């Protein structure tokens, strides 16, 4: 994840980056307190027609990937 984590009521919660591309993620649940800028996450969900990725469940930290 890149940047700051927004409040759940914001238009999007956080941004993910992979191979030079970025996408905003919508998730209205709680996040692990260790999620911060540079944390590698595994996120399940789908890309919405609004261009945002809608996470279906709590993103989990992938400690095997070093950001």
The residue segments making up the domain with residue 48 are: 14-61
* 9 within some domain: no
For the residues 6-30, what does the mean pLDDT come to?
90
| pTM attached to this predicted model | 0.84
Nearest to 19 by CA among 2, 43, 44: 2
* 53 within some domain: yes
State the Cα–Cα distance between residues 41 and 26, nearest whole angstrom.
14
How many domains, the chain? 1
- Give burial (CB, 10 Å; 0-12/13-18/19+) of 61: middle
For the residues 36-58, what does the mean pLDDT come to?
93
pLDDT tier at 62 (50, 70, 90 boundaries)? confident
Are the beta carbons of 2 and 15 closer than 8 angstroms? yes
């Amino acid at each position: 994840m890149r940047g700051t984590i927004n409040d759940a009521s914001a238009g999007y919660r956080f941004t993910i980056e992979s191979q030079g591309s970025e996408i905003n993620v919508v998730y209205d649940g709680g996040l692990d307190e260790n999620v911060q800028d540079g944390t590698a996450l595994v996120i399940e969900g789908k890309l919405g027609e609004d261009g945002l990725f809608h996470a279906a469940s709590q993103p989990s930290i992938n400690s095997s990937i070093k950001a």
